[in-house]
């Protein structure tokens, strides 16, 4: 899965990286979105999407709220969508057909079991070459049925699949990471062939992954600073020996 990630790159760098334009919400210099080294569910995140022939960087609420939902609280449970079932699940199949996106990330966190210890060791997972991840995502528009005159809410989810060999010792699932050669097909809203786009959702090569242990300070969603990704000594396994 993916429940926390790092979004520290400024929007203009993200736009340049994905050959995209900044959306209107990001053109206001007085309302920047601060870098976050601990993005959590329901936070605002950067999203790359296409409409017509325009590729844009926008912001959306993390946690997809289906258009038919009665209230937005369901979004907190839909931060991830399983690649194996998105083509058939009511919450995601409409978005898979015409509202696909990329969610940029500088890295993400998973929690590793430590033998003999109750607490898990947080691990920061990033690209070995220092580049950024392009997580496959879906987005949706939700309108509050109780307040039809309110502005619609744009929300998104990160697609996950089976872990590769690098991440499997920590977790059995990982975000789907799209290489540049797949971006055009994935983002094109005119591509409606679900079998075709589903074939893009495969694990990234283990060779691109690097990771290291980080402080348990990341466990608190209120902590957002850069120190969260600094390496720390890994928690030792408890001594399992007993005296007879």
CA distances to 9, 26, 42, 145, 242 from 110, rounded to whole Å, are 20, 30, 18, 36, 31
> Which of 2, 101, 140, 156 is the catalytic position?
2
Task: Give the tokens for residue 139.
Answer: 């987005």
Task: Give the tokens for residue 63.
Answer: 């946690």
- 208 closest CA partner among 167, 158, 157, 159: 167
Strand bridging mode 100-105 / 21-22 = unpaired
> Which of 50, 58, 101, 110 is the catalytic position?
110
Indicate if 140 belongs to the active site: no
CA distances to 59, 156, 222, 234 from 32, rounded to whole Å, are 11, 20, 19, 35
Triad 43, 188, 131: Cα angle to 5°: 55
Task: Give the tokens for residue 41.
Answer: 């569910």
Report d(CA 34, CA 10) in Å as an integer: 8
Indicate if 101 belongs to the active site: no
Looking at the annotation, which residues are catalytic? Answer: 2, 110
């Amino acid at each position: 899965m993916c429940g926390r990630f790092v979004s520290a790159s400024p929007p203009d760098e993200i736009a340049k990286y994905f050959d995209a334009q900044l959306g209107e919400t990001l053109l206001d210099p007085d309302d920047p979105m601060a870098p976050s080294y601990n993005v959590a569910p329901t936070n605002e995140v950067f999203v790359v999407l296409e409409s017509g022939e325009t590729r844009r960087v926008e912001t959306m609420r993390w946690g997809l709220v289906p258009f038919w939902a009665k209230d937005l609280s369901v979004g907190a449970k839909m931060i991830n969508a399983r690649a194996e079932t998105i083509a058939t699940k009511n919450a995601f199949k409409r978005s898979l057909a015409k509202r696909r996106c990329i969610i940029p990330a500088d890295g993400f966190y998973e929690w590793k079991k430590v033998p003999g210890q109750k607490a898990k060791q947080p691990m920061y997972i990033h690209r070995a070459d220092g580049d950024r991840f392009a997580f496959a995502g879906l987005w949706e528009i939700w309108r509050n049925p109780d307040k039809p005159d309110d502005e619609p809410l744009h929300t998104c989810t990160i697609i996950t699949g089976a872990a590769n060999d690098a991440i499997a010792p920590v977790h059995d699932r990982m975000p789907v990471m799209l290489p540049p050669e797949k971006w055009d097909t994935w983002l094109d809203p005119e591509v409606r062939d679900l079998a075709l786009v589903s074939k893009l959702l495969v694990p990234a090569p283990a060779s691109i992954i690097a990771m290291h242990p980080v402080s348990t300070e990341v466990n608190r969603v209120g902590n957002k600073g850069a120190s969260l990704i600094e390496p720390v000594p890994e928690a030792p396994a408890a001594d399992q020996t007993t005296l007879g």
